[in-house]
Structure 1
Amino acid sequence: MAGGTEDAANRYSRLDVWPAAELMTALWEGQTRALAACAPALPPVAAAVEAAAERLADGRGRLVYAGAGSSAMVAALDGLDLGPTFDWPAERLVLLIAGGLDLSRGLAGAAEDDEEPAAPTPGGRGFPPPTWWSGCRPAAPAPTPSASCAPRGRRGH
């Protein structure tokens, strides 16, 4: 699909035939650019962490992971590890993963581009305050509809 999340950057075409040193330099440069791009977001991320901690600290808040594709699978693993690692109650964890968690068929690629199933409405799906949403953006440059739509209407929750 043109302009989709699975498109390869032209810079990396034919990287399978690059010399190893050139490949490693390109990968390192890409990671360096990604880290530098995060710097302006640190203050709002810190504010979000404080808000999440406040909402979750009283023992009533729920953590909702919403996302699509392989990024959502990694986030789901993070969420599923909360119970065994931090004794996080299962009833306070919700995973909304485009295409579901059944990986026996592989990732449902088209599911991440479907906005409809991932757009809960205020009061829908039983998410009363305090609920904290963790939107999982895909690794690709453009957010998928399902990952970017899930928290819609959830501000202040």
Structure 2
Amino acid sequence: MKIENKITEQPSRYDHLEQMSVAELLLHINDEDMLVAEAVRKAMPQIQALVEAIEPRMKRGGRLFYVGAGTSGRLGVLDASELPPTFGVPEDWVIGLIAGGDKALRHAVENAEDIAEQGWKDLASFQPTADDTVIGIAASGTTPYVIGAVREARQHGLLTGCITSNPETPIASAVAFPIETIVGPEFVTGSSRMKSGTAQKMVLNMISTTLMIRMGRVEGNRMVKMQLTNAKLVDRGTRMIQESLGISYEEAERRLLEAGSVDGVLNNK
């Protein structure tokens, strides 16, 4: 699928990279990264509109699906996989799908992103409902797997959004709530794992964290429903309780392990 003047494919602002010193390379990569937050800030109204549309659906029991290929797919799976331990939510609240399946998380799967029908097939296996939301992630805005998924999802009554780094793309026209983070040409021409990927990660953080807060998974500024899956998280939870209740570390830890969660202690004090 050809799009003229695709920003993500335009030549880098820098040339002769192989002749640069390590210090120069690092500096210029950082210079380019500083443009990402500004691009995300400009997309804030789009992000807000999508989050506000998702919230009532999730409160009715709807799920959130991320669909992507390559780096975009991996970032969606990453964000989805971090929410259960961080916020103590079921694993099926937010689900990440990547073209080529789990194998594609570590290895490139040839032509997987070019099969437009497969995106909806992968989604359909979860028996989606009208309360579910699908966010397609595609820096180029032209990935067939992702476009096919969001287009069919919208036709089946699901809420749809996208995150892309090009304006006026096929994926943006296929969804109800497009998010366009125009970060400009990549430092290495066409390497959308760089600025585009960083923008995607920032937007995904904003969407999922805001939703989790709005869904009651945070109290004050604390992850009181986090899963106690390692010593670091047990220590963090213990200190939350110690500070909130003014008790000893040992007593806080005992209560935490007995209750199984921070809010289990604080809500039964």
- Fold-level similarity (TM above 0.5): yes
Amino acid at match of 1:136: I
Amino acid at match of 1:144: T
Q: What displacement does 1:57 show?
A: 1.9
Evaluate the alpha carbon distance shift between residue 13 and residue 7 of structure 1 in structure 2; reply closer, same or farther with a 3 A threshold.
farther
Q: Deviations over 1:1-49 (max 9, x none)?
A: x999x96845455423312343233212322333333333211111111
Q: Deviations over 1:100-125 (max 9, x none)?
A: 012587121521233221145xx954
Match of 2:93 in 1: 92
49, 52, 57: which is aligned to 1:50? 52
Match of 1:82 in 2: 83
Provide structure 1 residue ranges, at least 5 long, that are not aligned to the other structure: none
Match of 2:143 in 1: 144
Q: What displacement does 1:66 show?
A: 0.7
Matched, 1:26 2:28: yes
When normalised by structure 1's length, the TM-score is 0.74
Evaluate the alpha carbon distance shift between residue 24 and residue 93 of structure 1 in structure 2; reply closer, same or farther with a 3 A threshold.
closer
Amino acid at match of 2:82: D
Give the Cα–Cα distance (whole angstroms) in 2 for the partners of residues 16 and 29 of structure 1.
Answer: 18
Other structure's SS at 2:43 match: helix
* Aligned residues: CA RMSD: 3.2
Aligned length: 150
Provide structure 2 residue ranges, at least 5 long, that are not aligned to the other structure: 159-269
In percent, how many aligned pairs have the same letter? 31
1:50-69 mapped onto 2 (5 Å cutoff): 50-58=52-60, 60-69=61-70
Other structure's SS at 1:94 match: strand
Other structure's SS at 1:49 match: helix
Q: Deviations over 1:65-124 (max 9, x none)?
A: 11110221122122122222222223434332100012587121521233221145xx95
Give the Cα–Cα distance (whole angstroms) in 2 for the partners of residues 133 and 104 of structure 1.
Answer: 20
Give the Cα–Cα distance (whole angstroms) in 2 for the partners of residues 109 and 132 of structure 1.
Answer: 28
When normalised by structure 2's length, the TM-score is 0.47
Which segment drifts farther, 62-71 or 78-87?
78-87
Q: What displacement does 1:61 show?
A: 0.7
More relative contact order in 1 or in 2 (CA 8 Å, sep 6+)?
1
Q: Is the 8 A contact 1:67 1:135 kept in 2?
A: yes
Other structure's SS at 1:81 match: helix
User: Which has the larger Rg?
Assistant: 2
